[in-house]
Every structure is written in structure tokens, then in C-alpha cells.
Amino acid sequence: MRGLTFKLALTIIFEIMLAIKLKGVGKKHQRSFRVVLQEQRSKLRGKSIEDFGWYNPHTDKYEVKAERVLYWLGCGAKPTATVGQILKKAKIAIL
């Protein structure tokens, strides 16, 4: 019985998928976004694991911590489509 629970715990740990997402901040119609690492299924208003920088779509400016993004991409985190475009603009290699 004990071995069964250990296997179950391992599958639960490996099923947690991490995603690099945009988290909206600011007033309505004046949104800017934080680039954050969260569990893939978590809500955007929820707790984030790490903050990588910011993106302002109105001025098309951004700032991203490249070292930390590359570290988490190496650990298996996957960027969303929009974050992937931002990383491409910032010339950060996506694996």
C-alpha cells in the first residue's frame, strides 16, 4: 500500500506544469502586464512563483530578466503564445 501512495505522489508532482504568463496590472483601459511564472492551471490573480519583468502594450516596451527565463525554460516551463512573441522580440532563445 505504501508503494502505491509513493507512485501516486510522484505522478502528482510531475503533472504540475509551469507556464510563463502575462498577469494584468493597472487600471481598466490602461493595462500593463507582469511577466510571471505560475502553474499552468492557476488563475492569473493567484500566487505566482517568480516575477520576470513587465510588458506595456500601449508603448510596446518591455523588460525581461533573460537569465531567469532561460533557467525556467530549461526546467520545463512553457511560455504562452504572447509571452513567446515578447521573448522573441527580446532575442531570448526559446527551447
Question: Got the DSSP string for 22-52?
Answer: EEEESSTTS-EEEEEEEETTS-TTS--SEEE
Residue 79's nearest CA partner among 48, 46, 36 is 36
pLDDT attached to residue 40: 87
Contact 68/79 with Cβ under 8 angstroms? no
pTM score above 0.85:
no
Q: Are 38 and 46 in contact (CB under 8 A)?
A: yes
21-46 pLDDT, tens digit each: 999 999 999 999 999 999 988 887 88
> Which has the higher per-residue pLDDT, 87 or 43?
87
Cell 507582469, residue? 34
- Predicted pLDDT of residue 9: 47
With a pLDDT cut of 70, the percent of the chain lying above it is 83
Q: CATH for 18-89, among 3.40.50.150, 3.30.1320.10, 2.60.34.10, 3.30.565.10? A: 3.30.1320.10
